Structure 1
Amino acid sequence: MQLLQIFYALSLFLSVFSQSIQIASPADGETVSPGQSLTVQLAFPNSLTGVQHVSVVVSMLDCAAQCAENAADTLGKPLFTGDYTPEYHEGSKPPYQNFTVTLPETSTVNNGMLTVAHFMLLGASAQPILEYKNVSLNIAQATTAKRFIRGRAV
């Protein structure tokens, strides 16, 4: 009996981690600017187990020098909250959905972490799963160069 429980727990563990959201874009380490519009592409691999996607939160966390290891499940400033309905677009890619978000103007000029919180119901028993995924972003200064003529910005 105990062996059956261990097998069930192991199979549930493996099925959860084989079915996980992926941040396809932006790439880890990509350079972005405060106030920039950014397309976040969230992909979810095809699955034999039934999955009901409930929602996602896309957020940005400013990190002074480097994001701490324990910041992986910290959201920061929410940029998008809502439904997640991935669809097939190209034959070679898994189902995905694009979200266009605007990065905060107040982002520090250092490092940031884009975090996605994904809530889904998995399997016939509708097991609730909340997962976090993130990518590190380099935050550069906005490229708004101004020229000064006789003390006035033009």
Structure 2
Amino acid sequence: MKFLSSLALSTVFAATALAQSVGIGAPPDGTTVSAGSNITVEIDRPPTLTPSTEVAIIIGFLSCGGFASSCPPPSEILGTILYNGPYDPEFSSSGGGVNHRPYQNFTVTIPSSASPGKAQLGVAHVALVGAGQYPFLETHNITLNVV
């Protein structure tokens, strides 16, 4: 019986965490960027009924050329930090429809020292979730092509 209770509790925590998950809305995976250029990173968060307190977003950049196969995941290394600060997603004042969700845009600069080739834009999201406000951390990434 304890096993079923633990399984049910684990399922609730997993579902709650997934409801708080963010996504990289822009730029699209595989976007070509220039070293030293500014890009807009859109971080989307689907609406949820679970109470949460947003803590921070960290956006990092990592050139992949120095790694044997591919960039390590952002949960291991974010690289050069392009943004580290508050996250306050809001609904757009225009539009709507099925894909309407809170988001926040961040303008960041690709390092001028970035090596040409594959790179990774990594995002770490930190929030406090649920009535008890437990800490929640997730990471996401997309591939960029630096020219």
TM-score, normalization by structure 1: 0.85
Match of residue 29 from structure 2: 28
User: 1:67-97 CA deviation, whole Å, 9 max, x = no partner?
Assistant: 23x4231210000110000000042320000
User: Retained in 1: the 8 A contact 2:19–2:50?
Assistant: no
| Identity among equivalent pairs (%) | 36
Structure 2: gaps (5+ residues):
none
Asked if structure 2 preserves the Cα contact closer than 8 Å seen for 1:55 and 1:83, the reply is yes
Residue 71 (1) aligns with residue 73 (2): yes
- Partner of 1:5, secondary structure, is helix
Q: Distance in 2 between matches of 1:82 and 1:72?
A: 17
1:67–1:113 contact (8 Å) kept in structure 2: no
The one-letter code matched in structure 1 to 2:44 is: A
Paired residue type of 2:134: Q
Quote the residue 1:11 is aligned against: 12
CA distance in 1, matches of 2:73, 2:55: 23
Unaligned runs of 5+ in 1: 141-154
Which among 101, 114, 138 is matched to residue 131 of structure 1?
138
Q: What value does the CA root-mean-square deviation take over the aligned residues? A: 1.3
Equivalent residue in structure 2 for 1:102, among 98, 103, 109: 109
Equivalent residue for 1:86, pick from 65, 85, 89: 89
Query: How many aligned residue pairs are there?
Result: 139
Larger Rg: 1
Q: Does the CA-based 8 Å contact 2:73-2:141 persist in structure 1?
A: no
Letter in 1 for 2:21: S
Tell me the equivalent position of 1:148: none
> Which segment is superposed worse, 11-20 or 91-100?
11-20
**Contact residue 74 and residue 123 of structure 2 kept, 8 A:** no
Give the CA deviation at 1:36. 0.6
